[in-house]
Structure 1
Amino acid sequence: MKLSNRKKILVTIDWFLPGYKAGGPIQSCANLVQHLKPDYDFYILTRDTDYCETVPYQNIQPNTWVKLEDHVQVFYFSAAHLKYKSLFNVIKQVGPDVAFINGIYSLYFSILPLFILKRLNHQKIIVSARGMLAQSAINVKGGKKKLFLKAIKASGLYKGIRFHATNEEEEKAIGNAISPTANVVIAPNLPKLTDEVAHVLRNKQRGQLNLVSIARISPEKNTKYALALLADYKGSEHINFDIYGPVYNADYWQACEEVIRQLPDNIKVKYKGSVQSDKVAATLSHYHALFLPTQGENFGHIILESFTAGCPVIISDQTPWRNLEKDKLGFDLPLAEPNKFRQAIQQLTQMDQQEYNIWSERAYFYGNKFINNAEPVQLNRLMFEV
């Protein structure tokens, strides 16, 4: 199938727009498509449901090509239609110039597409690891993942393909997990294409702090660790912590709720459900800081969105966003030193309006400067040209 004489890029990903509950991978892929659609025609294969959902998207016809916008077509597979033969036929029909596989472990959107493309003798295949080969990510269900990686390397399925890393740390992680000689191209994650919005001033009183988390509720995002930090907070200041995001594991959330029940009276936590991606900026504008002591982020779209919304961050040092305190953007702290997180919370809590405004404005201008940098877009464009 052909939309134009431009290069055709086949993209495979478990969840895509209008989905949003899978967080970063959807955002990373959607941002890339938005930035590069003036140059390429994108054909995206995905599910017809959102992450952790069984009900299909409304008003979207499954198992056929849907024109999402100019130069972007999406094939939403229903669960019943998601089979090897169906994937083979659709991939063969597209006949892409470049295939861009998102993720490592998905049977239908990572493993089988790679096998099919190899069977069709396709030469230009890129596998985007999306942070899944970082040691912190492999350690979650580590036994199964290590066995899988051993088997897939032995199969030769990765022979002759390129891996996409978003930074040098991920390049090293791919080398450690796959092979020191793996062919890796570095192209940074791209920010969301948005019109710059005015900086929203929040009311800030000394001794009061409104924190927010917008992420999956999961061990990887360290939701329980964040709550435990607050449970052991000794200050008497009033702290509100609102949690947004899908519950990935009911047992883990129950453990989180147990910690919530142990919080002192001056600390209030509310679970607010999921927030759609187009509502994130407006949601962030109501809070003083993002609180996300994550186990690791390949990029951390919510961190960048926090900056652009003028919201400083309290995060771990396991993300690309480092040395924040010196520029008054927030704090990036070691997970092995929980007291440093509590000190950061106390520092923000004790800020008055004037001091907080400085930090909020610094975050806002830093975020908007980042999203207007053209170099990352060019690096992603080059990834498809090599």
Structure 2
Amino acid sequence: MKILYPIGTLYPSQQGGPSNTIYWMAKALANAGVEVTLVTTNLQAEDKVPADMWLETNYGRVIYHADRIHLLPGKMLRSVWKEMSVCDLVHLTSLFYPPSLLSAFMAKWHKKPVIWSPRGELDEKALVYSFWKKKPFLWLIRSFLKEKITFHSTSPEETRRVRTIFGQNVRVVEIPNFMELPPLVTPMASKPYLLCVGRIHPKKALENLIAALSLSTHFIQSDFSLKIAGDHKNAYGEQLKKQAAELGLSEKVEFLGLVEGEAKQELYAGAYFSILPSHTENFGNVVIESLAQGTPVIASKGTPWHILEVEKAGFWSENTPSLLATTIDKALNSSQDIYQSLRRNALALAHQHFDIKANIGAWIETYQELINNKSNG
């Protein structure tokens, strides 16, 4: 089985979530004996990998092209065309990255099956950004490609969005994001804190979280603080700092900036709860990162994380300030027996449902089925 991944950026680049997600997938597939080929650019990895030469790695055969125009990378596209003839299946990410669209047309020409991962780009609140640029992509996919594509979604809600945009009869395979789980870190002793990790953007509803904390009796009367890890040097970040000050929370809300690597794992491990209050998320890798350190999560009902309550590894809450405050108080008032049970369940949930090494078979089975269907058709 030979799988081709044309992708704009790839680990060690940290430009976007798929850089890591596809890297973890490729590594697990290669370890299982699948022939993996990745064609990418060296964006944000210029000083970390050799450019324009094929590398044999533990995550497959890969080439990082140094292309001057990221949205139209000529060298990358030439390599994709050459590799297309010898692969069995093409896996694309990002609907609105021009090389993905061009790769889909190449695959159609070569009669290769395609699986395409939108990665949340079809969410209503994501589509409104630069919609006039995205509209031609959607029209081309609807008009010429959708019958030849199997879409990949990570949740029932994303499946509904795919079918709303492209039609109820399009093929969709629903597989959650899997991750290479980090080793368990021993937390450093510190004052208790809640944690929010991720992009500082209005869709994350951090203003609702800060307002909720001002309404949380337990939070206000305790030593708990909120740590926010992410690049806050933008207009929304400044708005959040102003809000915290106006609510008298400047001493209890800390903006850490971007935190990566082992420092991020230590941050997760030391947190009492992680919180994802977003208005909407198609998945939320930060939830798995938290669970992998045994830290339970409070996630909003705008995210697909109902499983937190099913598996008793956290809480699934409305994200209005009043209801979120009620959930936070419930979480912080939990007995130590219940809290330690939440931590054990969090770790078990991460390993049983989201560990790429334990679950790569789902992808191998999906790929094989699509390849077989193409051969039989």
- TM-score between both structures, scaled by the size of structure 2: 0.83
User: Structure 2 counterpart of 1:78, which letter?
Assistant: D
Counterparts of residues 342-353 of structure 1 (less than 5 Å): 342-351=325-334, 353=336
Give the Cα separation in 1 of the matches to 2:249 and 2:171: 54
Which residue number corresponds to residue 94 of structure 1?
83
Residue of structure 2 aligned with 1:258, choices 221, 225, 242:
242
Residue of structure 2 aligned with 1:17, choices 11, 18, 21:
11
The gaps in structure 1 that reach 5 residues or longer are 1-6, 51-55
Residue of structure 2 aligned with 1:46, choices 32, 35, 40:
40
Q: Structure 1 residue 341 and structure 2 residue 324: aligned?
A: yes
Change in Cα spacing, 1:266 to 1:44, as seen in structure 2 (3 Å) is same
Give the Cα separation in 2 of the matches to 1:220 and 1:31: 27
Q: Structure 1 residue 126 and structure 2 residue 115: aligned?
A: yes
Q: Which has the higher helix share?
A: 2
Contact 2:71 2:98 in 1 (8 A): no
Which residue number corresponds to residue 217 of structure 1?
200
Superposed CA deviations along residues 62-96 of structure 1, whole A, max 9, x for unmatched, are: 33333443624242443347635423311122232
Displacement after TM superposition at 1:267 (Å)? 5.1
Residue of structure 1 aligned with 2:94, choices 103, 123, 134:
103
Displacement after TM superposition at 1:141 (Å)? 1.6
User: Structure 2 counterpart of 1:65, which letter?
Assistant: W
Give the Cα separation in 2 of the matches to 1:173 and 1:11: 24
User: Structure 2 counterpart of 1:258, which letter?
Assistant: K
Instruction: Quote the RMSD (CA, aligned, Å).
Output: 3.1
Give the Cα separation in 1 of the matches to 2:136 and 2:153: 20
Identity %: 22
Displacement after TM superposition at 1:178 (Å)? 1.0
Counterparts of residues 174-213 of structure 1 (less than 5 Å): 174-194=162-182, 197=184, 200=186, 209-213=192-196
Change in Cα spacing, 1:259 to 1:15, as seen in structure 2 (3 Å) is farther
Q: SS of the counterpart of 1:19?
A: coil
User: Structure 2 counterpart of 1:101, which letter?
Assistant: L
Give the Cα separation in 1 of the matches to 2:70 and 2:50: 13
User: Structure 1 counterpart of 2:230, which letter?
Assistant: G
Which residue number corresponds to residue 29 of structure 2?
36
Which residue number corresponds to residue 53 of structure 1?
none
The gaps in structure 2 that reach 5 residues or longer are 371-377
Which residue number corresponds to residue 375 of structure 2?
none
Displacement after TM superposition at 1:277 (Å)? 4.5
Which residue number corresponds to residue 3 of structure 1?
none
Q: SS of the counterpart of 1:272?
A: strand
Which residue number corresponds to residue 60 of structure 1?
49
User: Structure 2 counterpart of 1:128, which letter?
Assistant: S
Displacement after TM superposition at 1:8 (Å)? 2.6
Contact 1:130 1:298 in 2 (8 A): yes
Change in Cα spacing, 1:123 to 1:326, as seen in structure 2 (3 Å) is closer
Give the Cα separation in 2 of the matches to 1:81 and 1:370: 35
Change in Cα spacing, 1:326 to 1:27, as seen in structure 2 (3 Å) is same
Displacement after TM superposition at 1:266 (Å)? 7.6
Q: Structure 1 residue 307 and structure 2 residue 298: aligned?
A: no
Displacement after TM superposition at 1:193 (Å)? 4.7
In the alignment of these two chains, the number of paired residues is 364
Q: SS of the counterpart of 2:246?
A: coil
Superposed CA deviations along residues 348-380 of structure 1, whole A, max 9, x for unmatched, are: 333465553333233223333334698842221
Give the Cα separation in 1 of the matches to 2:356 and 2:60: 24
User: Structure 2 counterpart of 1:121, which letter?
Assistant: H
Counterparts of residues 257-336 of structure 1 (less than 5 Å): 257-265=241-249, 268-277=252-261, 279-322=263-306, 324-325=308-309, 327-335=311-319
Which residue number corresponds to residue 222 of structure 2?
237
Which residue number corresponds to residue 382 of structure 1?
365
User: Structure 1 counterpart of 2:272, which letter?
Assistant: H
Superposed CA deviations along residues 277-317 of structure 1, whole A, max 9, x for unmatched, are: 55543321111110111233333222122122111111112
Contact 1:36 1:381 in 2 (8 A): yes
Displacement after TM superposition at 1:339 (Å)? 1.4
